[in-house]
Amino acid sequence: MTQKPLLSLQNVSKQFPIGKKVLTAVDGFSLDIYPGETVGLVGESGSGKSTVGRLSLYLQKPTTGSVLFDGFDLSLLSSREIRKMRRRFQMIFQDPYASLNPRMTVQDTIGEAFDIHKLVSKKQREEKIVELLESVGLDQSHLSRFPHEFSGGQRQRIGIARALAVEPGFIVCDEPISALDVSIRAQIINLLKKLQKEKGLTYLFIAHDLSMIKYLSDRVAVMYLGHLVELASSQELYSKPLHPYTQALLASIPIPDPVIEKKRERILLQGEAQNSSNSSVGCPFQHRCPFAQAICKEKKPLFEEVTPGHFAACHFAKNWL
Contact positions vs another protein (CB under 8 A): 44-45, 151, 153-154, 181-187, 189-190, 208, 210-212, 214-215, 238, 248-262, 264, 266, 268-269, 271-272
Bridge partners, 22 (sequence order): 17
Residue 290 in contact with residue 267, Cβ under 8 Å?
yes
Q: How far is the CB of 299 from another protein (least distance, A)?
A: 25
For the bound state, the minimum distance from the C-beta of residue 217 to another protein, rounded and expressed in Å, comes to 11
Closest distance of CB 215 from another protein, Å = 4
Nearer to another protein, 134 or 181 (CB): 181
CB of 105 to another protein, least distance (A): 20
Closer residue to another protein in complex, CB, 70/95: 95
CB closer to another protein out of 9 and 42: 42
CB-based contact 135:54 (threshold 8 Å): no
The distance of closest approach from Cβ of residue 262 to another protein in the complex, given in angstroms and rounded to an integer, is 7
Asked if residues 16 and 197 have their Cβ atoms less than 8 Å apart, the reply is: no
Comparing CB distances to another protein, the nearer of 44 and 108 is 44
Q: Nearer to another protein by C-beta: 65 or 152? A: 152
- Decide if 38 contacts 189 (C-beta within 8 A): no
Helix (H) / strand (E) element for 172: namely: strand 170-174
Q: Which is nearer to another protein, 11 or 190 (CB)?
A: 190
Nearest-approach distance from CB 1 to another protein, in angstroms: 21
φ, ψ of residue 74 in degrees (nearest 5): -65, -25
User: Which residue in 212, 143, 150, 137 sits closest to 176, CA to CA?
Assistant: 212
Q: Which three-class secondary structure state does DSSP give residue 21?
A: strand
62 CB burial (10 A radius; 0-12, 13-18, 19+)? buried
- Which residues, 6+ apart, have CB-to-CB distance to 109 below 8 Å? 100, 101, 147, 158, 162
